[in-house]
């Protein structure tokens, strides 16, 4: 959920609110006069609409069904990261994907056992790193049903990691 603030010409206010209502789920629209004559301030609480195709993110259980044990993956990933830091080595997308998936799994575990930590925030940050990599990359991502530019990806970065991990794991 987010807030939108618009300053517009008074005659355009209805057209703008209708367009926003068609694009987002909107709450009550608050209208106030602007400091400039002939203009209005619009304040709208909005949220992304569900995907019209009905597509959903894979559940963690589905995405990580064949994933290695968290401890095993942690060790394997740490080793791969050390290797990637050597001079001349390159870091491939799979490393970022595995890191984001591991952090997502840790955050889910913390949630399941009621541990208060910042693991969800850390997992979300890692997911955003992967999305940024995919946005600037060569299209080497699954993108089904949500590609990195999709608004649903921005709204649920950890869902994107699960989608991409499931795709990656299925093609290993």
pLDDT digits (tens, 9 = 90+) for 110-144: 999 988 899 999 999 999 999 999 999 888 898 88
pLDDT at 54 over 70: no
Helix (H, G, I), strand (E, B) or coil at 8: strand
pTM: 0.70
Beta strands in 34-135 (DSSP E): 39-48
Q: Are residues 112 and 136 in the same domain?
A: yes
Model pLDDT, residue 91 = 81
Token duo for residue 41: 């301030």
The number of folded domains in the chain is: 2
Model pLDDT, residue 53 = 61
Residue 15 lies in a domain: yes
Residue 55 lies in a domain: no
pLDDT at 49 over 80: no
Residue 98 to residue 52: CA distance in whole angstroms: 30
| Chain centre distance of CA 168 | 17
Residue 53 lies in a domain: no
Tens-digit pLDDT profile for residues 55-69: 789 999 999 999 999
Q: Are residues 99 and 140 in the same domain?
A: yes
Residue 13 to residue 26: CA distance in whole angstroms: 15
Name the percent of the chain lying above pLDDT 70: 97
Residues, the chain: 172
| Chain centre distance of CA 137 | 17
Residue 136 lies in a domain: yes
Cα Rg, the chain, nearest whole Å:
21
pLDDT at 51 over 70: no
Token duo for residue 96: 């970022």
Q: Tell me the mean pLDDT in the region 91-98.
A: 93
Residue 90 lies in a domain: yes
Q: Are residues 94 and 165 in the same domain?
A: yes
Q: Are residues 69 and 19 in the same domain?
A: no
Residue 102 lies in a domain: yes
Residue 138 lies in a domain: yes
Residue 159 lies in a domain: yes
Q: Are residues 30 and 73 in the same domain?
A: no
**Domain membership of residue 16 as a residue range:** 2-48
Q: Are residues 162 and 87 in the same domain?
A: yes
Q: Are residues 81 and 161 in the same domain?
A: yes
Tens-digit pLDDT profile for residues 25-44: 888 899 999 999 999 999 99
């Amino acid at each position: 959920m987010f807030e939108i603030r618009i300053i517009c010409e008074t005659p355009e206010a209805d057209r703008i609110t209708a367009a926003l209502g068609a694009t987002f789920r909107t709450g009550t629209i608050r209208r106030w006069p602007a400091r400039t004559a002939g203009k209005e301030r619009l304040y709208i609480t909005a949220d992304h609409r569900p995907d019209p195709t009905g597509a959903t993110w894979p559940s963690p259980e589905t995405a990580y069904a064949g994933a290695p044990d968290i401890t095993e993956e942690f060790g394997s990933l740490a080793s791969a990261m050390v290797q990637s830091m050597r001079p001349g080595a390159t870091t491939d997308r799979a490393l970022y994907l595995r890191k984001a998936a591991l952090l997502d799994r840790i955050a889910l575990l913390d949630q399941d056992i009621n541990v208060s930590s910042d693991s969800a925030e850390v997992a979300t940050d890692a997911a955003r790193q992967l999305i940024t990599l995919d946005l600037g990359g060569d299209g080497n991502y699954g993108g089904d049903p949500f590609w990195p530019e999709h608004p649903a990806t921005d709204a649920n970065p950890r869902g994107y990691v699960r989608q991409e991990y499931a795709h990656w794991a299925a093609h290993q």
